[in-house]
Amino acid sequence: MLGGVNDIAAEKRAAADAALAELPARGVIGLGTGSTAAFFLEALALRVRSGASYVGVPTSKASRALAERLGIPLLDDVGPWSIDVTVDGADEVSDALDVIKGGGGAHTREKIVNAASRKNVIIVDATKRSRLLGERRAIPLEVLRFGLGSTLQRLATRGTPQVRTSADGTPVLTDAGNVLVDLVTGPLLDPRPLDAALRAVPGVVETGLFISRADVLIVSPPLAVFRRQ
Ligand code: 5RP
């Protein structure tokens, strides 16, 4: 049973360290966003300092800044990239290895990097697991500010949309300057049609639903590796 913040951090680090076994000996690595991905960047930086030849593609300004501080060589933000493996965190992971991402608001860039990767590894502590997506988390959506009121009306037919705000009440913005909307749906028996419907709403840039996009899931505790069949 995971107790305090320190326990959870230790388990995130354990999952992140285990992801090193999924990397080729050298190559292009997609760098996720969030606290678990940050542990992976630290582990990767140690490899780089020992002479390993890796170059990263960051999924956010924050991950780019961290990777630069750690001395990981990076490609530019434009590409095209040919990414061997991307390692990223998640907010919720179902038994079917489907994923909700975007707690850090980086899911659009994360999905672009995921789609450009030959293998995608998701690293989480065990608190992120659920039977069905939506049991624990709302679905993050990146939404244009233009027409936000109308977009929210449309989204309300699919769940309860909440604009994400900071402690001072101002909207949280993505790296692209868009708004984040968290759509509360409850457990989803089949998230794929909902993902398609949400992406069809004008104004929605991208959803945090990552369906059939994880090839490998590493969870801790207990440390376990699951592979998509
Ligand atoms: C950012 C994400 C993160 O991977 C997700 O929020 C998990 O974060 P953490 O590892 O800090 O729990 O999707 O957009």
- Domain residues of the chain, as ranges? 5-131+211-227, 139-205
Position of tokens 């090193």? Answer: 20
The whole-number pLDDT of residue 172 equals 98
- Of the pLDDT bands very low, low, confident and very high (cuts 50, 70, 90), residue 229 is confident
Looking at residue 5, its pLDDT comes to: 75
Options 3.40.50.1360, 1.10.3720.10, 2.40.50.140, 3.30.2270.10; CATH for 5-131+211-227 is 3.40.50.1360
**Rounded to two decimals, what is the model's pTM?**
0.96
- Supply φ then ψ for residue 151, to 5 degrees: -60, -40
- pLDDT, average across residues 81-91: 98
Residue 1, pLDDT > 70, answer no
127 lines ligand 1 (CB under 6 A): no
136 CA distance to ligand 1 middle (Å): 14
- pLDDT tens for residues 174-221? 999 999 999 999 999 999 999 999 999 999 999 999 999 999 999 999
Residue nearest to atom 5 of ligand 1 (CA): 90
Picking from 154, 152, 153, the residue whose alpha carbon sits closest to that of residue 164 is: 152
Task: State the Cα–Cα distance between residues 172 and 126, nearest whole angstrom.
Answer: 27
DSSP 100-137: E--TTS-HHHHHHHHHTEEEEEEEEEGGGEESSTTSS-
Return the H-helix or E-strand segment holding 86: strand 83-88
pLDDT number for residue 187: 97
30 pocket-lining for ligand 1 (C-beta < 6 Å):
no
Q: Which two tokens stand for residue 61?
A: 């300004």
How far is Cα 194 from Cα 174, in angstroms, rounded to an integer?
22
Between CA 81 and CA 30 the distance in angstroms is 10
pLDDT for 6: 78
Name the closest-CA residue to atom 10, ligand 1: 36
pLDDT for 104:
97
In this prediction, residues 84-110 reach a mean pLDDT of 97
Which positions are annotated as active-site residues?
Answer: 110
- How far, in Å, from the CA of 32 to the mean position of ligand 1? 8
* Tens-place pLDDT, residues 19-35: 999 999 999 999 999 99
- For atom 1 of ligand 1, which residue has the closest CA? 104
Phi, psi of 139 (to 5 degrees): -95, 120
pLDDT at 69 over 90: yes
CATH number for the region 139-205 comes to 3.30.70.260
In the DSSP assignment, the letter for residue 172 is P
105: left (phi over 0), alpha (psi -120 to 50) or beta: left
pLDDT of 3 over the 70 cut? no
pLDDT reported for residue 133? 98
Q: How far is CA 73 from CA 51, 56, 77, 163, in A?
A: 12, 6, 13, 36
Strand-pairing partners, residue 93, are 99, 129
- Measured between alpha carbons, how far is residue 42 from residues 68, 81, 107, 141, 152 in Å? 11, 22, 21, 29, 39
Shortest CA distance to 150 belongs to which of 172, 174, 173, 181? Answer: 181
> What's the rounded mean pLDDT across residues 59-80?
98
Mean pLDDT of all residues in 154-164: 98
- Give the integer Cα–Cα distance in Å for 168 and 98: 33
